[in-house]
A and B are shown apart, each in its own frame.
Chain A
Amino acid sequence: MQLAATQRTPLIEISATSCRIVGECYPENIQEFSSPVMTELRSSVPDSGSYTVELELFYFNSSSAKFFFDFFEFFEEKAESGVAVNVNWNYRLDDDTMLEAGEDFAEDMIKCKFELVEMPSESGADAEDE
């Protein structure tokens, strides 16, 4: 699955070995946005081997928080059933909001390896000025 970023939704790439989400998430309708993503994950993520999850979020609203909660719960269950899941939560140096969000999600991840990765504050991947 390949979804290009829009003004209110992030870039999403899902394959059999990795998942990448980059950008902002405050969709007009969170259900419409999240259900195909969760469906794709259920069919793409294997039951064994390893899997990489790469996140680089700049902003998400409170309605989307539930989506990310379900997203991580899905991977935690995969990890419990034997998949080696590596999650990288990338946040910008001075972005305490996204750092805290990452810490909050990390607390619930027991079987997944969850890394908080600091990036320079001015990232070239910034889409906000487009």
Chain B
Amino acid sequence: MVSDATLELHKFMQARKTLFCYSGPLSEDLLTSISNPVRHQLSETDSSDSVAKKVFGVFIEQAQNIIRYADTRSSATGDGVGTIAISLTDEGFLIEAVNTIDSEKSTALEKSLVDLSMKDATELRKMYKERLRSGPPEGSKGAGLGFIEMARRVQRFEFEIAETDKGPVFVYRGYVV
């Protein structure tokens, strides 16, 4: 049947309890447009305002990482291409993002994320404040705070940098409880 793949997609999204998923070129304009449906989806769950806000915050940081740093860009607009999703799991909300990255930056990214994953809440808070004072590191297009901010909001996060024929693909998964 021609519709098999579509049906499978539906079943897959339902089974993994994905509330929201976007895959493709992402821009700040598009992020403005999708913010409301994302919030709406979160308000449909029985999570507290505080949890919904943390999920939303992690989602925004991940989306802006794709916008700023995805190595694959849309040929038409130059927008960063990636996939971003919010799902419900036994461990709480899972906010996940996938995008290709510049191969020259993958080692530094890996190092800083390993470093972040070993820090507790107090250390993360201290690090955040220090970064705020010192200003963004070289190569940052924001405040250089995004990954620290996410680490502060999630219960835990995991990441992977997979080598593919299109260069390194970065996968980030953050759980919010």
Contact = CB atoms under 8 A, between A and B. Distances in A.
Interface in A72-108: 92, 94-97, 100, 104, 107
A63 interface: yes
Contact of A7 (B35, B50, B53): B35
A106 to B, nearest CB: 11
B143 A62 contact: yes
B64 A69 contact: no
Given A63-B142, A65-B132, A66-B132, A95 B50 contact: yes
Interface string A109-130: 0000000000001000000100
A121 B33 CA distance: 27
Given A7-B36, A63-B64, A94 B49 contact: yes
B35 A61 contact: no
A7 B133 CA distance: 28
A92 B54 CA distance: 14
A61 B61 contact: yes
Contact of A28 (B29, B39, B50, B128): B29
Interface stretch (B9-17, B145-153, B161-169): B145-153
Classify the interface of chain B: helix, strand, loop or mixed: helix
A104 B149 contact: no
Interface residues of B, number: 31
Interface residues of A, number: 24
B57 interface: yes
Interface in B15-38: 28-29, 31-32, 35-36
Classify the interface of chain A: helix, strand, loop or mixed: mixed
B119 interface: no
B32 A28 contact: yes
Contacts of B64: 61, 63
A97 B128 CA distance: 13
A104 B129 contact: yes
Nearest to B121: A100
27 contacts: A8-B35, A28-B31, A30-B142, A62-B61, A62-B142, A62-B143, A62-B145, A62-B146, A62-B148, A62-B149, A63-B146, A65-B128, A65-B132, A65-B143, A65-B145, A65-B149, A66-B135, A66-B136, A66-B143, A69-B132, A92-B49, A94-B48, A95-B50, A95-B53, A97-B57, A97-B153, A104-B129
Interface of B: 28-29, 31-32, 35-36, 39, 48-50, 53-54, 56-57, 60-61, 64, 125, 128-129, 132-133, 135-136, 142-143, 145-146, 148-149, 153
Given A7-B35, A62-B145, A104-B125, 9 more contacts: A7-B32, A61-B57, A62-B61, A65-B145, A66-B132, A66-B136, A92-B49, A100-B125, A107-B129
